[in-house]
Structure 1
Amino acid sequence: MTLKDVVFANVGGLKTACVTREQLVDIIASQVDMVRERSASQPMVVFDSNGHGISLANSDKAFYEALTQADLIHADGQSVVSMSKWLGGVSIPERSATTDLMHDIPGRKGLTLSHFLLGGSENVVSQCGELLTKRYANFKLNGTHHGYFDKQNCDQLIAQINAAKPDILWVGLGKPEEQFWVIQHKDKLQVPVIITCGGCYNYVTGDYCRAPMWMQKAGIEWLHRLLTQPKKLFWRYLTTNPHSVYCVLKHKFRQTT
């Protein structure tokens, strides 16, 4: 599957790809091939959507406009998958969590891609790169850089990334900063694919623990995160979860009137 084959659903005002995890990897791999063959020159920008993102996009115009400039938005949250089924028409077949995507790409047999990891602390991003390199024979690490840099004056960092020539640039600066940074600098970045990934590096290193599989399948991984990081996430989930549901229903009503 390539990007032009993707069908999208409007979930909470965001044009979200109706793809499986496997198809998402196919799209990323095809983009890398097209750049290698010089049939494409611009980076493909991949953002994600979850309850927090939907809520933020509907309350922050600048963030919404940044999201609309992505080439593909995938369903990072199970709630997005569930809410897409309320809309009628084509729905999202399954969740494609970014924490899984970071493993799905090197986990694909016969697919060897190079990566540059940007974001997080120096220790976490370096350790994440080392762990993925050891775990996957086809994960090629072309470089890492921490996320504590001058976001407005980063020509040297961009030059470092371009010199490393990765197939995929992962940007883990957190919402909405990572989306703003990517959109601001994508025209200078000479990479086939850019994927925002939030705090995914911390899950690879084990600093954050994922929910049990039954909670992931039930769509309540957010509850596990809340219980393990209550000070950080309590207010976010209390406000954004109900708001995201409202936003999905609001946009559904607008489409049917």
Structure 2
Amino acid sequence: MSTIAPSDTFVDTVEPAVITLGGMLIRVIDRAAEARLMINLASKRTRGTPAFFTSANGEVIARVNADKELARLFAEADQVVADGQPLVIASRYLCHTPLPERTATTDLFHDVAKLAEETGTTFYMFGAEPEQNARAVAAARTQYPRLRIVGASHGYLSEEALEDKLAEINALAPDILWLGLGVPREQYFFRDHGAKLPNVGLIKTAGGLFDHMAGKVRRAPAWAQRAGFEWLWRLLMEPKRLFWRYLKTNPVAIWLLLTRSR
């Protein structure tokens, strides 16, 4: 994981620590500090290959353990934060420095958007199905009328259409590209196309963010999120899609958290 130095727009005096959870390096940072860091880095850095910020939960920990290429891509990311409350709970008992809170992208987007209205930081929203992407963009524009969203696209592009879209994104030069493709497509996207976007400041993986913003998928109740049971809520909402996935990854993630955390 790279070391990211903040600029002077929103200065945090102490660089965030890094801990190991389930064998993965996770940044110890709260949502507010993460939002400030994203704004700083995206708006002030010298452009080149974009910075790459991503996140992990129990499923990601299990996937990374089983896939060496995916493990390499996460290790090379500039920042990995904890998107799962079970990781926060595990850090309190298993690590030398506990995580202050869950840095869920579905919440972080709003933290960053509020700051972006003040700073003029620009967004591009890439991912999800066409209808969900359009609804997510409309929701963001309604909630944050001063937010500069310079472009948007669904995530189901390939070959020439994808290359054309990459050229469009680079020409628009957004400060932050929100990438809602899910793991591992987001990591492969950055591996294969990050260098084609030298005018983009930062790429932040977004998972199912746009589906939530569009109203397609409901968030778990706050009590379930705090208790670390949002995965169970998601399972109840989408049992056919998630049952076998969680059956395979949850036991592995628990074992890895217990044996490879410090």
TM-score (norm 2): 0.89
State the match for 1:53 in structure 2: 60
Alpha-carbon distance in 2 for matches of 1:240, 1:218:
19
Structure 2 unaligned regions, length at least 5: 6-14
Shift of 1:152: 8.9
Partner of 1:101: 108
Q: Quote the residue 1:208 is aligned against.
A: 217
Match of 1:155 in 2: 163
Tell me the distance in 1 between the aligned counterparts of 2:83 and 2:167.
30
* Separation in structure 1 between the aligned mates of residue 63 and residue 159 of structure 2, nearest angstrom: 21
- Give the aligned CA root-mean-square deviation in angstroms: 1.8
Residues 1:76 and 2:83 aligned together: yes
Describe the superposition over 1:186-228 as per-residue Cα deviations: whole angstroms up to 9, x where unpaired: 1221211101111110100111000111111111111111111
Are 1:247 and 2:256 an aligned pair?
yes
Aligned residue type for 1:47: T
CA distance in 2, matches of 1:151, 1:221: 36
The answer to whether 1:7 aligns with 2:17 is: yes
When structure 1 is superposed on structure 2, of 201-210 and 183-192 the one drifting more is: 183-192
Moved more, 51-60 or 142-151: 142-151
The answer on whether the counterparts of 2:43 and 2:175 sit within 8 Å (CA) in structure 1 is no
Change (3 A) 1:251 1:120: same
In terms of mean alpha carbon deviation, does 80-89 or 50-59 score higher? 80-89
The share of aligned pairs that are identical, in percent, is 34
Identify which range, 122-131 or 84-93, moves more after superposition: 84-93
1:87 paired to 2:94: yes
Whether 1:16 and 2:16 are equivalent positions in the alignment is: no
Number of residue-to-residue matches in the alignment = 249
Corresponding residue to 2:40 among 30, 41, 45: 30
Task: Give the Cα separation in 2 of the matches to 1:74 and 1:81.
Answer: 10
How far is the alpha carbon of 1:114 from its aligned partner? 1.2
Aligned equivalents of 2:161 and 2:140: distance in 1? 30
- Where 1:191 maps in the other structure, the secondary structure is coil
- After the TM superposition, which segments of 4 or more aligned residues of structure 1 sit over 4 Å from their partners? none
**Does structure 2 conserve the Cα–Cα contact (< 8 Å) formed by 1:111 and 1:138?**
no
- The question of whether the paired residues in 1 share the 8 Å contact of 2:57 and 2:83 is answered with yes
What TM-score do the two structures reach when normalised by structure 1? 0.91
- 8 Å CA contact 2:53–2:78 kept in 1: the answer is yes
Q: Residue type of the partner of 1:138?
A: R
Instruction: Quote the residue 1:65 is aligned against.
Output: 72
Structure of greater relative contact order (alpha carbons < 8 Å, 6+ residues apart): 2
Deviation, 1:27, is: 0.8
Distance change in 2, residues 1:112/1:54 (3 Å): same
Q: Note the alpha carbon deviations across 1:49-84, whole angstroms, 9 max, x for none.
A: 001100000011111111111100011100111122
Q: Which amino acid aligns with 1:215?
A: A
Alpha-carbon separation, structure 2, partners of 1:150 and 1:41: 24
Shift of 1:151: 6.1
Q: Equivalents in 2 of 1:111, 1:214: separation in Å?
A: 33
